[in-house]
Structure 1
Amino acid sequence: MLTADLVRATRRGGELKLSGLGGKARERALEIAEALLSEASAQVGRTRDEVKDAMGQVWVEGREKKLLDGLGKLVDDACDFEVETELEPAELRAKLFSLATELRRELPAGTSFDRAAVLSQVAAELGHTTDRLEGALFADLKGAHVLRRLEALTPIALLERYELAQRQAVLLRAVRVRARVRCRAPADYRRLFHALKFRRLLFRLKPAEEGYVIELEGPFSMFESVTKYGLNLALALPVLEQAEELELEADLRWGKTREPLTFRYQHRADTPASWPVEDELDTFVKSFKKLKSGWQVAPAEVLLEAPGLGVLVPDLCFSPPTGSEPVYFELLGFWSRDAVWKRVELARSGLEAKLLFGVSERLRVSREVLDDLNDAALYV
């Protein structure tokens, strides 16, 4: 993923506009992408520093530097580096430095320190050659990690990844995001909303004339966990782009001065949505069934609407063995107490369903806030 400083964009009329890659600019970007991939693939078996030096040989004009850095960052992300040693570098350094200190103290006056002798002594004790020790001594440092494999990427695929990464990097600076989505099928809405919840995002749903409007809190609305939440929001963008139609607007705090800007983006999916075969809810359902409690549980397939207040997206549906009314369960994240109070408001609106909300202790919300209701409860 890209960081905000690698985003190629202009500011105009209070808006942030991404610099597009069309025509000759796109052809040139593909050339740079191909050169970077070629250099990186030729360095398999070499260290990260050597890979970095090789990609640094790709020539660009000054105005293309940010494009080069962005593509290079994504190529680096596609590399699989490993520590190439069976020895523990930290333990090896401690052993060598301890012995070296001891031998220095014993040196007669005017005698020079023999580094090779220290290496030979430790190598003999460990049953390795001195060359092996030399190579392992700092093998855990990032620059010494060895490239084992490079993800199979074409220049076109890398460029598509870059364009997505630019949009994702913008969301890292968002205060709030509004997205109108329209899906091909009702089941796609449920999958989309559950995927957003899987990322532990704070959002509200409102029915629209066609589809739904999703109001998401951005990382710059948080008092803590800004980086982690921002990453989750950025990773959710491909989920939103699964909708047949997406209209997104984000309020940003951009640059070092945190200038208020607006980012607008539209997307239309050319192919039907493709959702994971199994997610964490399916895993929980399988585990719960092993308890043999008599209750039946399944991922919830309903959206509960409270007119004028919003839409509730339960995670699970628990059906009692007696065959009576099911209980809908929603697990809330730990980002904001405000999200809990919004659920309390929805529960008190008279939703015709039994509700159970799972709340983190970190939010310091009493389970008693819904004790006066028969059809809703908090589990802390």
Structure 2
Amino acid sequence: MLTKDLLRVSRAGGGYYPQFADREDRPLAARVIESYRENVGETRGTLDDALADLESEYDFKLVRGLAKLLERDATFETRAAVDPERARTAAFGAAEDVGVISEAERERALEDAASALDCTPAALENALFADRDERAILADLDPRWSPEELCVQYDLSLAQTALFDATDLTVRTSDPRALVSSIKRLRLMYEIEKTPEGRVIEITGPTRLFRRTRRYGTRFARLLRFA
């Protein structure tokens, strides 16, 4: 699923219509995948800059939505010669001892801290904030989807995210057994009515509950994978 801030819907005419990806969006999906591949070994900040370039050409939410899904196949890691927390503790302690005011005093504090940690001042300075999100290194990417498959997965995730705001879901079917089995497996509330055309199943949505629970909403959204 996507985060709510990446939900793309149209409310034209009082409706609620998810804006799914189409064939024209496949080149964008390919470029998002390529942006990740080209930035293996680079920081997350550098990757974000590459994605921002795409946002100048395409819908921001679509770019970020595709990237959000692709990130599941990406491995990020912190790379530093010294543990960043230890580096900060040593550097800030040395700065307090020195009484840093000038640039020269800052360099002296870094040298003292680096000596205590048996590393170079440059390595220490690099480690200070290496655990920040934007400094994380994209170490590997093993995408499970082609551009076309990524768009399909995006559509499914978009629909699932939209369902978090649903009051109910109506399904008409001539053979409800598999769907009802899935509804029961997910522990969702529902009603079923027999009509001349078949069965109508009304599934209670998250916003219909007196107390909205994320757990119920997640199970409700997962129903799409079984439908």
| TM-score, length-scaled by structure 2 | 0.79
1:216 aligns with 2:204: yes
1:91 aligns with 2:86: yes
List alignment gaps of at least 5 residues for structure 2.
none
Deviation at 1:162, TM superposition (A): 1.1
Q: Which residue of structure 1 aligns with residue 36 of structure 2?
A: 40
Q: Which residue of structure 2 aligns with residue 192 of structure 1?
A: 182
Mapping for residues 102-251 of structure 1, pairs under 5 Å: 102-104=97-99, 113-152=104-143, 153-180=145-172, 188=178, 192-193=182-183, 195-197=185-187, 202-206=188-192, 208=194, 213=201, 215-219=203-207, 221-223=209-211, 225=213, 227-239=214-226, 241=227
Q: Rate the CA distance shift 1:98–1:180 in 2: closer, same or farther, 3 A.
A: farther
Distance in structure 1 (CA, Å) of the matches to 2:218 and 2:81 = 34
Alignment coverage as a number of residue pairs: 224
1:30 aligns with 2:22: no
Matched-pair identity in %? 26
**Which structure has greater helix proportion?**
2
Could you give the per-residue CA deviations for residues 216-267 of structure 1, whole angstroms, max 9, x where no partner exists? 3315635354x4543443334213x2xxxxxxxxxxxxxxxxxxxxxxxxxx
Deviation at 1:146, TM superposition (A): 1.3
Mapping for residues 276-287 of structure 1, pairs under 5 Å: none
Distance in structure 1 (CA, Å) of the matches to 2:133 and 2:80 = 13
Mapping for residues 259-270 of structure 1, pairs under 5 Å: none
Distance in structure 1 (CA, Å) of the matches to 2:95 and 2:133 = 25
Q: Rate the CA distance shift 1:84–1:235 in 2: closer, same or farther, 3 A.
A: farther
Q: Secondary structure at the match of 1:160?
A: helix
Amino acid at match of 2:115: A
Distance in structure 2 (CA, Å) of the matches to 1:84 and 1:21 = 36
Aligned residues of 2:80 and 2:127 also touching (Cα < 8 A): yes
Amino acid at match of 2:217: G
Aligned residues of 1:178 and 1:216 also touching (Cα < 8 A): no
Deviation at 1:156, TM superposition (A): 0.6
**Which structure has greater strand proportion?**
1
Distance in structure 1 (CA, Å) of the matches to 2:140 and 2:153 = 19
Q: CA RMSD in A?
A: 3.2
Larger of the two Rg values belongs to structure: 1
Deviation at 1:49, TM superposition (A): 0.7
Distance in structure 2 (CA, Å) of the matches to 1:159 and 1:48 = 23
Q: Rate the CA distance shift 1:221–1:91 in 2: closer, same or farther, 3 A.
A: farther
Aligned residues of 2:99 and 2:105 also touching (Cα < 8 A): no
Q: Rate the CA distance shift 1:220–1:138 in 2: closer, same or farther, 3 A.
A: farther
Could you give the per-residue CA deviations for residues 262-317 of structure 1, whole angstroms, max 9, x where no partner exists? xxxxxxxxxxxxxxxxxxxxxxxxxxxxxxxxxxxxxxxxxxxxxxxxxxxxxxxx
- Comparing both chains, which one has the higher relative contact order based on Cα–Cα distances under 8 Å and sequence gaps of 6 or more? 2
